[in-house]
Amino acid sequence: MEDIQHIKAKFDIIGNSFSLENAIRIAVQVAPTDMSVLIVGESGTGKESFSKIIHQLSTRKHKHFVAINCGAIPEGTIDSELFGHEKGAFTGAIESRKGYFEEVNGGTIFLDEIGEMPLATQARLLRVLENGEYIRVGSSKPQKVDVRVVAATNVNLFDAVAKRKFREDLYFRLNTVPIQVPPLRERGHDIDLLFRKFAGDYAQKYRMPPLKLTEEAKESLLKCRFSGNVRQLKNLVDQISVMETTRLITADILSKYIQNSDFSQTPALIPSANNDAQGSFSEREILYKVLFDLKKDVSELKNLVGRIIKSGVNADTLNAYENLFATDLSEKITSNNTTPFLLEAKPTSPQIVPVVQNNAESSYHKEQIVPIEENSLSLDKQEKDMIVRALKKHNNRRRNAAQDLGISERTLYRKIKQFGLEEL
Q: Looking at the domain assignment, is residue 137 inside a domain?
A: yes
Together in a domain, 285 and 361: yes
pLDDT at residue 355 is higher than 80: no
Shared-domain flag, residues 71 and 158: yes
Determine the pLDDT at residue 277.
43
Taking only the tens place, the pLDDT of each residue in 101-147 is 999 999 999 999 999 999 999 999 999 999 999 999 999 999 999 99
Residue 224 β-bridge partners: 263
Question: Residue 394 — left, alpha, or beta (φ > 0 → left; ψ -120 to 50 → alpha)?
Answer: alpha
Interstrand relation of 37-40 and 148-153 (parallel, antiparallel or unpaired): parallel
Q: What percent of the chain has pLDDT over 90?
A: 57
Contacts of 374 (CB under 8 A, 6+ apart): 347, 348
**162-179 pLDDT, tens per residue?**
999 999 999 999 988 999
Q: Of 100 and 337, which is predicted with more confidence?
A: 100
- Does 303 lie in the same domain as 210? no
Q: Are residues 325 and 415 in the same domain?
A: no
CATH number where 8 lies: 3.40.50.300
**351 or 284: which leads in pLDDT:** 284
Residues 229 and 327 in one domain: no
For 37-91, write each residue's pLDDT tens digit.
999 999 999 999 999 999 999 999 999 999 999 999 999 899 999 999 999 888 8
pLDDT, one tens digit per residue, over 377-407 is 567 778 888 888 888 888 888 888 888 888 8
Domain assignment of residue 424, yes or no: no
pLDDT at res. 282:
47
Same domain, 198 and 178: no
Residue 332 lies in a domain: yes
| pLDDT on residue 407 | 86
In a domain, 106, yes or no: yes
Per the structure, the complete domain to which residue 231 belongs is given by: 185-262
Instruction: Examine the domain organization and report whether 32 and 117 are in the same domain.
Output: yes
- Three-class DSSP labels, the chain: CHHHHHHHHHCCCCCCCHHHHHHHHHHHHHCCCCCCEEEECCCCCCHHHHHHHHHHCCCCCCCCEEEEEHHHCCCCCHHHHHHCECCCCCCCCCCCECCHHHHCCCCEEEEECHHHCCHHHHHHHHHHHHHCEEECECCCCEEECCCEEEEEECCCHHHHHHCCCCCHHHHHHHCCEEEECCCHHHCCCHHHHHHHHHHHHHHHHHCCCCCEECHHHHHHHHHECCCCHHHHHHHHHHHHHHHCCCCEECHHHHHCCCCHHHECCCCCCCCCCCHHHHHHHHHHHHHHHHHHHHHHHHHHHHHHHHHHHHCCCCHHHHHHCHHHHHHHHHHHHHHCCCCCCCCCCCCCCCEEEEECCCCCCCCCCEEEEECCCHHHHCHHHHHHHHHHHHHHHCCCCHHHHHHHHCCCHHHHHHHHHHHCCCCC
Residue 200 CA: distances (Å) to CA of 77, 194, 197, 299, 391: 42, 10, 5, 76, 114
Of the residues 201, 233, 262, which one is the last residue of a structural domain?
Answer: 262
Residue 353: predicted pLDDT: 44
Residue where a domain stops, chosen among 134, 152, 182: 182
Q: What is the pLDDT of residues 22-40, one digit of tens each?
A: 999 999 999 999 999 999 9
How many CB atoms within 10 Å of residue 256? 9
Examine the domain organization and report whether 39 and 133 are in the same domain. yes
Residues 387 and 306 in one domain: no
Together in a domain, 218 and 178: no
Report the sign of the C-alpha dihedral through residues 344, 347, 350, 356, in that order. positive
List b or e across 100-134, with b for residues whose CB sees 16 or more CB atoms inside 10 angstroms: bbbebbebbbbbbbbbbbbeebbebbbebbeeeeb
Give the residue from 156, 182, 208 where a domain finishes. Answer: 182
Please give the torsion angle defined by the CA atoms of residues 141, 142, 145 and 147, in that order, rounded to the nearest 10 degrees. 120
pLDDT at 298 over 70: yes
Say if 269 falls within a structural domain.
no
Q: Are residues 30 and 168 in the same domain?
A: yes
Q: What CATH number has the domain bearing residue 225?
A: 1.10.8.60
In a domain, 270, yes or no: no
The pLDDT mean for the chain works out to 81
pLDDT bucket at 414, cuts 50 / 70 / 90: confident
Domain count, the chain: 4
The more confidently predicted of residues 314 and 248 is 248
- What confidence tens digit (pLDDT) does each residue in 241-278 have? 999 999 999 999 999 998 754 655 444 444 444 444 44
Residue 271 lies in a domain: no
289 found inside a domain = yes
Residue 170 and residue 40 in one domain: yes
Per-residue pLDDT, averaged over 143-170, amounts to 95
